[in-house]
Structures are given as structure tokens and as C-alpha cells.
Amino acid sequence: MNKYTCSTFHLNKFTAVFILLMVSSKVYCFDVYTFVPWKYYLEKGELHQTKNLDDYLTQYGTKKAFVIYPKGMFTQDKPDPVKIEQAAKLSRKNSDALISFDIEIGNKMKPETILPTVEKTLNLYHKNNGNNLVGVYGLLPQNTVGSNFKPSKYSKLNEKYANIASLTTVLSPVLYNYDGEDFEKWKISADFAFEETKEYSNTHKIIPYLSPIYKVKRRTDNPKGFVIKQLSESDMKKRLNYLKSLNADGVLIWESSQSIEFDKSQPIFNPYTGWGKAVIDTVKSR
């Protein structure tokens, strides 16, 4: 091997190693979005009240999600151009936020009762230059509501909802704790949901809804609310780590404003223990 050949060999070897390092060093981004309308949080041992917990959480590195409910987009169950324009305006003011339309109307087993409304809503949103980070709750892929479901049935249903992908940039499987603390049953839903979104993984961000609680029973004083149990640090960390292993692009932590604890008190966000610590640790470890 002459000097020129040897130099070329080493140069090519260096170039190959450099390219390999560049590829392998690609940063995996796992964003944590929150929509948790709780009123109370702990900080340095003191209880604080807030009008918007999501604003407070951003100091830890989380991002805000805006879930647009029917009253924020419909009038008499029909897409309202004025309301949807406001949703688009909200998204432009919060350019790094995730917008998720919760279009729970019609019969989900009959896409023809839902899709026209979804399509009109999203077209109006885009017409008003809404933020591109937008998705729809629980339609593509369909929410299996726990681990007891027939995969073939939901796969066929997802095919019928496929057009939603052309109007969104985010797909959000709903991975609530329908089976309580049971992690293995939770994984069944997660595995199926991510298998169903595989064909979109190069064109869409996959950011599932994840709940930090599970429901124990319905409230006797408020039919819209539930008595809840908050997930432990271990239970939440297992779920977050598993979503990372499935190459999720992030997670949308969602909870209700109507929840109460066993003693009828308001739930409190705690960044030092329980699911709160798991979320904060996940954000810090990105």
C-alpha cells in the first residue's frame, strides 16, 4: 500500500466514522405536554393555588397543550367558524403548544356520523392559519378503552378514519388507565395503538394521551367527576419509559378538573413524589 493509498484509506475510514457518529448522535426528542386543570400544587413544602397549573409546569420544561372541547368549536353540534377562528388564534399565540380537538360527536363505530364534522372543523382551522401541531382526540387510532378489545375490529375501523391523517400532523392514541394500575394490560392497548400508527410514523408525530390517575368510582355529588387514585412514581415512570421504547415523540398528560380524592379533597400536584416526580424527571432527562 503506497502513501497515497494509505492516506486515502484513512480519510475514507475517518469519513465513514464521522458519518456514523453523526447518525448515531441524532437527538431523540420526547416532549411532555400537559393539560391538567388542577388548582393546587406543592412547592418547597408549601401548598399553592393556581389558575393554570400548566403555566406553572412549564418552568420544569413541559409544554402546554390546548384541548378544544365541543363548546369551543361547535354551536348546536355544528362547526362554528367564529369559535374555530378563536382556536386558531390561540394556537398562533402559543406556537410551541399542541392543539387537540376533542370531537366526541356521533357514533364512533359509524365514521360517517363523525368524519364530515371532523373534516369541516379541521379545514376551518387550517383556513384560519392555525398552528401546524394539531391532532384529534381518540379517532385515529381509535380508543380501545382498555385491553379487552378485538384488534381486527379496530384495525378495520382505523382504516375508515384514515383521512384524518391528511388534516393533522399529530396522532394521539388514548392510553388512559382503564385497567387501573395494571401495567401489563395497559401495554396491550399501547402496543396495538402504536402498531396502528406505524404507517404514519414518518409523517406525523405520535403523541399519546396519558392519564396520571385511574378512576375508582363516580362522584355522588357531581356526575361529571370521579373519585381518583393518583399513579405512583414507579407506575408513571414505567408508562413513560415504555412509550419511549415505542419511539413516541412525546406525551400529552391529561386530567379532569372534576376529579377528587377519596377524602373529597381537591387533587394536588406534587413534583417531589408520585407521578409528578416521574414526569419532572422525564423532562429533565431529555
Helix extents (H) in the chain: 3-24, 53-57, 81-93, 115-127, 151-160, 183-197, 233-245, 274-284
Question: Comparing C-alpha atoms, which of 240, 238, 239, 228 is closest to residue 269?
Answer: 228
Give all strands of the β-sheet with 40-43 in edge-to-edge order.
Answer: 46-49, 40-43, 268-269
Cis peptide before 116 (omega within 30 of 0): no
Q: Are 209 and 254 in contact (CB under 8 A)?
A: yes
Q: What CA–CA distance (Å, rounded) separates 272 from 9?
A: 54
Per the structure block, which three cell numbers stand in for 261? 380524592
Q: How far apart are the first and last CA of the chain?
A: 47
Q: Are strands 78-79 and 40-43 parallel, antiparallel or unpaired?
A: unpaired
- Tens digit of pLDDT at every position of the chain (286 positions): 543 344 343 434 434 433 333 333 445 689 999 999 999 999 999 999 999 999 999 999 999 999 999 999 999 999 999 999 999 999 999 999 999 999 999 999 999 999 999 999 999 999 999 999 999 999 999 999 999 999 999 999 999 999 999 999 999 999 999 999 999 999 999 999 999 999 999 999 999 999 999 999 999 999 999 999 999 999 999 999 999 999 999 999 999 999 999 999 999 999 999 999 999 999 999 7
Residues linked to residue 217 through DSSP beta bridges, in sequence order:
227
Per the structure block, which three cell numbers stand in for 74? 361547535
Per the structure block, which three cell numbers stand in for 215? 378512576
pTM over 0.75, yes/no: yes
Q: Are strands 226-230 and 213-218 parallel, antiparallel or unpaired?
A: antiparallel
Residues linked to residue 174 through DSSP beta bridges, in sequence order:
209
Q: What are the residues whose beta carbons fall under 8 Å from the beta carbon of 71, sequence distance 6 or more?
A: none
